[in-house]
A and B are shown apart, each in its own frame.
Chain A
Amino acid sequence: MKFRTITLATAALCLCFTAVSAKDAVVEKRETMMKQIGGSMGALAAIAKGTKPFDADAVKTAVSTISTNIKAFPDQFPAGSDADSEAAPAIWTNNADFRAHAAKLGSDADMILAAMPTDAAGVGKAAQTLGANCGACHQTYRLKK
């Protein structure tokens, strides 16, 4: 009897643990995607500011990362994945608008890929276009900072 109780309790604990770690993985994945976008913005800003030399390949990689990640990004928010995360409740209550913000950054990135900048000043302009999207979305859909 006692053994059965312990087994059941252990099983229940394991189930809980799996559920928690599964949720964490979802949050972690989307946070990694966003960090890669941030890293790409950093690469573009370094070129725009002249701390790194202009490098067409690096620019292409950075803008492509932003485009790829942001298009997949809105699908990383299954219902109930708001614990331990900076995701604002509005992501779920106002999902269409959240997706529209992501789509806007995606199309801005694609426009830059279609007409790639050829010098540091061009990269600066591109970074500004892309960067304006960060705050516009984070204001409503991200908590803190």
Chain B
Amino acid sequence: MASKWSKFLVASVVIIAAGAATGWALTKPAPRPDSDWANVGGPDLAKGEQLFWAGGCASCHAEPGATGDGLKLLSGGRELPSPFGTFHIPNITPDPAAGIGRWTLAEFGNAMTRGVGPRGEHLYPSFPYGSYARLSPQDVADLFGYLKTLPSSTNVAAPHDLKFPYNLRMGVGVWKFLYFNDKPRVELASADAKVKRGQFLVEGPGHCGECHTPRDAMGGFLAGKWLAGGPNPEGKGSIPDITPGSKEIGSWSGEEIVNYLETGFTPDFDSAGGSMVEVQQNIAHLPKGDLEAIAAYLKAVPAQ
């Protein structure tokens, strides 16, 4: 009798352990292989600066209300409210202690494109690596090189203040298993070079979908709703649909979209509001050809 019970116990333990091992295997932090960084050339700082503006790094990492050169001091400290709690934005200046001055290219690249921190931990997707995953290793090197040229700060940001169970980083692994990928967000009929460039900018560094695509309760994008807009995840208000089906911008011409990104004014001289003000001011630093590429892509995505 006793042996029957002990057999049952052993079997249970084995099953649970196997389940846990499988769960861990599917959800553990997965950095890129080191070989990804082996053939990367020296950084192209001009391209790195463009990625800096396209990526809107300053929108979160610079001090609130920073303008001009102040946008290049990425000392962190801002709060990012969300339904899961408050994220405190870290310092990413070249300071060796408070910033990322000691990070290697591989560490920076794993954070940017795999959401894995330098201690091998999961990073929260409030840092939009789910979009940045579309950057190539060379893009990452260009951006990393550029960030190293920016001024240092010794500011130490507070740790994130998240509700249970979101404060357990293990859960991020489940989120990644369900939602993380570096594939195109939409299949486009057009293979036009301009549209492709726009796709890279919008889906990758621009991370437009992070606000403009509605999410489910676990924070993953709703399927088939790419750029469809929805309630504002940061608080009151709503985020507009930016597909050709949008009642707000669907009627804008490509040129009007370019003009909006350049100046912040809509065709009827309404202006950008909320977080879009900073997004627009960052995007406005891109060459006009890139703004046209973004417009071409927004005209090519499925209407919502």
**Beyond A38-B271, A39-B269, is A135–B240 a contact (Cβ under 8 Å)?**
no
A89 proximal to B (CB < 8 A): yes
Interface of A is mostly: helix
Count of A residues near B, CB < 8 Å?
19
For B260, the closest partner residue in chain A by CB is: A145
| Residues on the B chain within 8 Å of A144, using CB | 232, 237-240, 273-274
Contact with A along B259-285 (1 / 0, CB 8 A): 000011110111111111110110000
Interface pair A86/B265, CB less than 8 Å apart: no
A112 proximal to B (CB < 8 A): no
| Residues on the B chain within 8 Å of A39, using CB | 268-269
Beyond A135-B264, A135-B280, list 17 extra A-B contacts (CB 8 Å): A41-B265, A45-B269, A88-B237, A131-B264, A134-B265, A134-B271, A135-B277, A138-B271, A138-B273, A138-B277, A143-B232, A144-B239, A145-B240, A145-B271, A145-B273, A145-B274, A145-B276
Closest Cβ–Cβ distance, residue A18 to chain B (whole Å): 26
| Residues on the A chain within 8 Å of B263, using CB | 131
Closest Cβ–Cβ distance, residue B285 to chain A (whole Å): 15
Instruction: Report A73-131 residues with CB < 8 Å from chain B CB.
Output: 86, 88-89, 131
For A34, the closest partner residue in chain B by CB is: B270
Count of B residues near A, CB < 8 Å?
24
Q: Contact partner of A135 among B237, B269, B272, CB < 8 A?
A: B272
A-B pairs with the 4 shortest C-beta distances?
A: A143-B237, A142-B273, A134-B271, A138-B273
Once the chains are docked, how many angstroms separate the CA of A78 from the CA of B240?
Answer: 27
A139 proximal to B (CB < 8 A): yes
| Residues on the A chain within 8 Å of B265, using CB | 41, 45, 131, 134
Closest Cβ–Cβ distance, residue B249 to chain A (whole Å): 9
Closest Cβ–Cβ distance, residue B129 to chain A (whole Å): 25
B236 proximal to A (CB < 8 A): yes
| Residues on the A chain within 8 Å of B232, using CB | 143-144
| Residues on the A chain within 8 Å of B238, using CB | 143-144
Can you list 14 A-B contacts with CB-CB less than 8 angstroms, sorted by A residue number? A38-B270, A42-B269, A88-B274, A135-B281, A138-B272, A138-B274, A138-B277, A139-B273, A139-B275, A139-B278, A142-B274, A144-B273, A144-B274, A145-B276
